[in-house]
């Protein structure tokens, strides 16, 4: 026998509370959250079928509107605000936040290149 805890179906299938990462941005503190696997899959699928004109914020904007949250883990941006997010902030700040969101959510460079090439 082992002293290790073995996960059962209930452990695996119950919705988890995912951690937040604190980041300084926009002159304040924001949090970037992990996405649930189903959220990431839906985001990837919707991005692959979107036309560029349907997504003015691009892939970076879409990832950030899904992952920028307040201290309680509640999204602070709506889906339709991706374009405003990208238009109204510096490329450096958006890229820095995007890189954190990608790292937290297992989005590798090849994933990003593939998805950006789909639109």
**CATH number of the domain bearing residue 107:** 3.30.2220.20
Q: With 70 as the cut, is the pLDDT of residue 111 above it?
A: no
Whether 38 is in a domain gets the answer: yes
Whether 43 is in a domain gets the answer: yes
Give the tens place of pLDDT for each residue, 74-95. Answer: 999 998 999 999 999 999 999 9
- Structural domain for 70, as ranges: 21-118
Give the tens place of pLDDT for each residue, 48-78. Answer: 776 655 665 688 898 999 999 999 999 999 9
pTM here?
A: 0.78
Question: What is the per-residue DSSP string for the chain?
Answer: --SSPPP-HHHHHSPPPPPEEEEEETTEEEEEEPPPHHHHHHHHHHHHH--GGG-TTHHHHHHHHHHEE-TTS-B-S-GGGHHHHHHTS-HHHHHHHHHHHHHHTT--HHHHHHHHHH-
- Mean per-residue pLDDT of the chain: 85
């Amino acid at each position: 026998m082992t002293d290790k805890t073995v996960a059962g179906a209930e452990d695996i299938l119950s919705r988890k509370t995912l951690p937040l990462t604190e980041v300084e941005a926009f002159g304040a503190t924001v949090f970037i959250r992990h996405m649930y696997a189903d959220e990431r899959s839906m985001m990837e699928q919707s991005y692959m079928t979107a036309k560029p004109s349907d997504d003015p914020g691009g892939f970076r904007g879409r990832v950030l509107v899904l992952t920028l949250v307040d201290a309680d883990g509640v999204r602070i941006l709506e889906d339709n605000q991706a374009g405003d997010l990208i238009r109204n902030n510096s490329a450096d700040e958006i890229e820095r936040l995007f890189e954190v969101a990608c790292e937290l959510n297992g989005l590798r460079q090849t994933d990003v290149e593939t998805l950006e090439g789909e639109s």
